[in-house]
Chains A and B, each alone.
Chain A
């Protein structure tokens, strides 16, 4: 038998065109992003010709080693880090496990107290619960009306036993950007490590570990339009973490398992593209988001913006509408070809409304009426027009069904 080559040229669909053909306005980029076709092209050689294992001592392995380290350098450069500070992981959740559990275990002799913010993603709150079950004490630091952690309240919770603080860079839900530089300054020199989940800020807000003294940073490839299932943990030089996944000792012993070279090459390509295009892409996305916020608040009565009016991820618009329920909005928008997200309890596995919105001070009934739009690389102004062609009608229809809405109507004098 001879090896067969595929002579048909591989053509990659453009995500924007594919969505347009399907008739879908996709405004849920925070849930999943398409992989940029340019990234896919950069990945392909590592699936076929450059398939080696970086641990092998032969020439095929050397090609892989060179590619791995080159990719590490490009990802590090995007975040202002040194190559040896980047540990590739199987996604951001794994990076967070390594960053929080790995740090806590490795540094337990220094103390047993960990602080996490109330705005953290559910994955981090669950990791904190795991630590509590395993001999650590966990304190949550509250957030303000807009979802921001106050440095003052954080300071009030620090004890002699505190070893780690985890505060996200921006909220993946309401978009609020945390005063991470201020928090990092507060902790700098105290011996308390700062971990930050940066997935909702990647490619949207500047993240420079050379300028902001964070110790641990959870990163995701997909949030830069790279492949899913790949992430990285930034570990500042000198910071010690214990592995949570054991095996052959890859990634300096911190993350065992043969490296997924194609995905890592994809992450590096995605970081390279973002590094070159962020300066034009972010203002474009921000303009789309601003237009939606402006129109919703002006054209839909009793609508509100959740999160901070300015200090927020530029792709995020998070609303709530009095007297309507989130899942009902999502279902109706789905019928109209609009893909969005909600923090309503009825859409969740637990039937609990978004903990972030409750921590911001909203009542349960208000948290139930939340609707999140997140834009991205293939979003257009036309998307805003299409959303606004249907959203006011959806809200009006659901309010007409709702026994609550009349109580919000102005009383006739």
Chain B
């Protein structure tokens, strides 16, 4: 079966998703699951009154079935008691859509997880702003790069072969894939300056957001620098010169390799 051989009901929920959006108010909680790295990410907002889901909204980044399952689950559980809603399983969501291609079953899992997470957060009193983006005060704490740097394997092997402790002439990195380790404002500023010389600049931080001042943060958002958050460099790899960085995805607790020609760790 092709991944896109969806039932009419799934296609209908993809084309006309129900309950898209966010909610606000004193009785609102959010469940946020998934990871853009995996290609899907879901936020489900619930407004709870008298232990019932009075209103529900969602936002989803993902494929057809990710959108359809989020939409479907909001229809299934609106008006339900929380305990009842907790019993809604991935199978129920898939059944309500008249089935999903086997390879897409994990998407229905995600929708159920997001709902359960939202209920859990509501019961634990976790406010949406705490559940979604980390507050500014927290991310302004410096990322643990000073300690982490010591732990990057084979770092010194690539001195002058892709590892840069300083960059004096930006043009030497023209057209290179540059990964700048987040060590504060100076590193972020260098990353932004480099975008005039290459189309690929990644600012890598172990925190949820770069540990920079508010002014630099705003400038970063407007810039072409790609932010890679919750990523911890583990090891440099390459044949004679840097070619890849082994990265620990702290959110998913998984490892992957990122292609790079230059790794900038400012002194």
The interface of chain A, by Cβ under 8 A from chain B, is: 142, 144-146, 153, 156-157, 323-328, 330-332, 334-335, 344-349, 351, 353, 358-361, 363-366, 368, 400-405, 407-411, 413
Contacts and interface: CB of A to CB of B under 8 A. Distances in A.
Nearest to B219: A411
B26 interface: no
B14 A331 contact: yes
B39 A344 contact: yes
Given A144-B175, A156-B240, A327-B4, A346 B37 contact: no
Given A156-B240, A360-B259, A403 B39 contact: no
Contact of A331 (B41, B64, B104): B64
Interface string B62-77: 1111110000000000
A344 B199 CA distance: 21
B3 interface: yes
B150 interface: no
B177 to A, nearest CB: 4
Given A358-B259, A363-B258, A411-B217, A346 B222 contact: no
Contacts of B65: 346
Interface in B1-58: 3-4, 6, 11, 14-15, 17, 20, 32, 36-43
Contact of A400 (B20, B32, B240): B20
Given A144-B175, A403-B32, A346 B60 contact: no
A326 B104 CA distance: 15
Contacts of B61: 323-325, 401-405
Contacts of B228: 363
B206 interface: no
23 contacts: A142-B243, A144-B261, A153-B243, A323-B61, A324-B61, A325-B39, A325-B40, A326-B63, A328-B62, A328-B67, A331-B14, A331-B64, A334-B4, A345-B39, A347-B63, A361-B200, A364-B37, A364-B39, A403-B59, A407-B133, A408-B221, A410-B221, A411-B221
A329 B255 CA distance: 28
B248 interface: no
A328 B4 CA distance: 9
A330 B4 contact: yes
Contacts of A345: 38-39
B44 to A, nearest CB: 10
Contacts of B39: 325, 344-346, 351, 353, 364-365, 368
The secondary-structure label for the interface of chain B is mixed
B226 interface: yes
Given A156-B239, A331-B14, A401 B60 contact: yes
A326 B40 CA distance: 11
Given A145-B199, A327-B4, A359 B41 contact: no
Given A156-B239, A401-B67, A403-B61, A361 B177 contact: yes
B260 A361 contact: yes
Contact of A145 (B36, B133, B200): B200
A11 B133 CA distance: 63
A409 B38 CA distance: 22
A335 B62 contact: no
A344 B62 CA distance: 10
Interface in B232-267: 239-240, 243-244, 256, 258-261
